[in-house]
Amino acid sequence: MPVAEKRTTLQEYVTSEWQDKPQTSGLGAVIMAIAEGSCRVQALVQQAALADVLGVTGETNIQGEIVERLDTASSDIFVETLSQSGHVAAIGCEEIEKPVIVEGEVADGFIVLMDPLDGSSNIDVAVSIGSIFGIWRKRPDETVNDDSLLRPGNEQVAAAYVVYGSSTILVLATKNNVCGFTLDVGSGKFSVTHPNIKIPADCLYYSTNEGNNKVLDEPTRKAITLLRNKYSQRYVGSLVADFHRNLLKGGIFAYPADQNRKDGRLRLMYEANPLGFVVEQAGGAASTGFQRILDIIPKQLHQRTPLILGNKDVVEETVSVISAG
């Protein structure tokens, strides 16, 4: 039996890579809080019905969407671990209407925007789901308030997502560096398994909800037709799972605006911005179809946006057709 090579753990990674750099001290604690929370969420995901976390709570969230038990449970877990990290000043969450302003003075505070459980429609049918995080550094000497969270994606210092799939993978992006870690469920530790992720030059897949074609405008329908004629269709219905496959294998994800959703379906602050940051650091691109995602000046915490992200050249081609009008 070959001796398993010693892999670098996430704790060792953030300590060795970041601890001594002033621009990231404290960020390691935020990442470890995300890792701790995702271990706890992963356990609930695997237990599912046995842990009584399937099904709906009977409430609807600020988005007007039915809230699944696991949406609430994962939101509570991450709010707890992030608040206790000692380096998070405020949290914005898909499942919480108003920002959570963390008590107590936080010196080098970070602001975290999160989708604690992405792919809710897949929870009850045992299909891959995930969690998504965007991380901004609060402005020096700023006393954070609700408006402190409305920062453009191009001011993020890091972003991360977790896929709870056949394995549990945490992907962490900082400037020019995207690294993937796999969870060893036994020890509860993440270790480096996908160093220096770059989106492949060749695009293999396109991911879009083809059921929406009838409500697309003509230029967008033409753009989707071009993708359909060139690439294989893969669509899980969990953004984070579709994105992860396209990041590793080469692909494009598109949830454009349509007649029913003029502003798109996905949320800018905790879906499009974090994954837009990840894909750009991995050499890809993220657009609304008319504008770079990370340049959008946000107006509301839960605002939606059209989202097209993946291989840079394919995103640019798709955008040129959509915006040609």
Binding site for ligand AHG (CB under 6 A): 94, 115, 118-121, 209, 237-239, 265
Q: In this chain, which of 13, 26, 68, 118 binds Mn ion, going by CB under 5 A? A: 118
Which of 24, 42 has the CB closer to Mn ion? 42
Secondary structure of residue 294 in the 3-state scheme: helix
Contacting range for Mn ion; rule: CB under 5 A; set: 53-61, 107-115, 272-280, 314-322: 107-115
Return the one option of Mn ion, ligand AHG, none that residue 121 interacts with (CB less than 5 to 8 A, by type). Answer: ligand AHG
Q: Which stretch binds Mn ion (CB under 5 A): 3-11, 41-49, 89-97, 255-263?
A: 89-97
Based on CB atoms, which residue is closest to Mn ion, 28 or 306?
306
Q: How far is the CB of 15 from ligand AHG (least distance, A)?
A: 32
The alpha carbon dihedral of 72, 73, 74, 80 has a sign of positive
| 146 CB-near residues (< 8 Å, 6+ apart) | 98, 99, 301
Complex with Mn ion: residue 26 or 116, whichever CB lies closer: 116
Please identify, using beta-carbon distances, which residue of 24 and 131 lies nearer to ligand AHG: 131
Q: Which stretch binds Mn ion (CB under 5 A): 106-114, 115-123, 184-192, 217-225?
A: 115-123
Nearest to 37 by CA among 107, 114, 127, 147: 114
Q: What is the DSSP string of 67-96?
A: EEHHHHHHHHHHHHHHHTTS-EEEEEETTE
Burial class of residue 159 in the structure, from the number of CB atoms within 10 Å of its CB (0-12 exposed, 13-18 middle, 19+ buried): buried
Binding residues for Mn ion restricted to 193-222, rule: CB under 5 A = none
Spatial neighbors of 164 by CB under 8 A, at least 6 apart, are: 38, 41, 42, 45, 46, 128, 129, 130, 131
Q: What is the dihedral of CA 71, 72, 77, 79, to 10 degrees?
A: 100
Smallest distance from ligand AHG to CB 119, Å: 4
Interacting residues toward Mn ion by CB under 5 A: 94, 115, 117-118
